[in-house]
Chain A
Amino acid sequence: MKLIVNGEVHEVAAATLAELLAALDYDGDWLATAVNSDVVHKARRAEFQLSDGDRIEILSPMQGG
């Protein structure tokens, strides 16, 4: 399945958002996720089924003003 993760195309076998995070070495409770511009909360990542072409954003705390 082809996914766009943080703007980059990835070919992955992951079926769920949680599996995708594990496959791409994203780990930590400070991460926030969205699929196709909608927030997917931490508790829902394990059940959230991904589809071909989905756009995933994985964000973390950063300096800001």
Chain B
Amino acid sequence: MFELFGTSLPSRLLLGTAQYPSPAILADAVKASGTSVVTVSLRREMAGGRAGEKFWSLIRSLGMRILPNTAGCHSVKEAVTTAKMAREVFGTSWIKLEVIGNHDTLQPDVFGLVEAARILCEDGFSVFPYTTDDLVVAERLLEAGCRVLMPWCAPIGSALGPVNMTALRSMRGHFPGVPLIVDAGLGRPSHAATVLELGFDAVLLNTAVARAGDPVGMARAFGKAVDAGREAFLSGMLEPRDVAVPSTPTIGRAVFS
């Protein structure tokens, strides 16, 4: 089991709900992944429209814990207001805090992120900050009241996987007691396994599953990869070495010449 803000979760995979080919495939992918946390957003509702109602009804039927996000917010004010609206609609104080600072990379505005995190933590939110792999920013977020960190491993939707293993390893080493979730940039199950092997507590992903040829199969694959990576981390892995070491005992070897 895995614990976030006092809540035990059976899976170390958190799954986004966007870009699926259909609501039915979304539902099947969520179930196949083994996750118990799904990420959702808030957007403008059309007058007389019922898109929000239909989506919300589907999500509630899945019985998952909800992690609303502030996706698309580019200022502290926008993010804080969106978080408060999400708390009312979704009935949870959990919030995935995004304050975007760059249009091309969707890199967080880490200065605004820290400021928004402080405001929301003081207001009783359980803040999951989408951040970079920068240690100083991570320190500031913890000082602001965050108890979980969600560093990217590559730009959102890029599927590049962990591009800076040194930075991720450093972050894990610096914050041994803080739940660390890699959010954004994962493309393959092996990427998820890699960061779990590194000691990260969980991953949050969306595009890699939703845009796969078979989202349900990919969701299942990511669920297995996360489990495999965690078990490998707990089991202790060999350090790589440059010379061969025979695995079969040399004592008792037959001699034919």
Q: What is A's interface to B at a CB cutoff of 8 Å?
A: 5-7, 24-26, 28, 30-34, 37-39, 41-42, 57-65
Contacts and interface: CB of A to CB of B under 8 A. Distances in A.
A61 B71 CA distance: 12
Interface residues of B, number: 40
Given A61-B90, A63-B41, A31 B81 contact: no
Contact of A59 (B45, B69, B156): B45
Interface of B: 16-20, 26, 39-45, 47-48, 50-53, 55-56, 59, 68-69, 71, 77-78, 81-82, 84-86, 88-90, 156, 205-207, 210
A32 to B, nearest CB: 4
Contacts of A37: 77-78, 81
A5 to B, nearest CB: 8
Contact of B18 (A42, A59, A63): A63
B18 A61 contact: no
Given A59-B52, A63-B55, 14 more contacts: A6-B45, A26-B45, A28-B50, A30-B53, A30-B56, A31-B52, A39-B85, A58-B44, A60-B42, A60-B44, A61-B89, A63-B16, A63-B40, A65-B205
Given A25-B47, A39-B85, A65-B17, A60 B52 contact: yes
A46 to B, nearest CB: 15
Nearest to A57: B44
Nearest to B83: A39
Cβ-closest 3 pairs across A and B: A60-B52, A64-B41, A65-B16
Contact of B41 (A28, A39, A62): A62
Contacts of B41: 61-65
Nearest to A24: B47
Contact of A39 (B48, B88, B206): B88
A59 B56 contact: no
A59 B43 contact: yes
Contacts of A30: 52-53, 56, 89
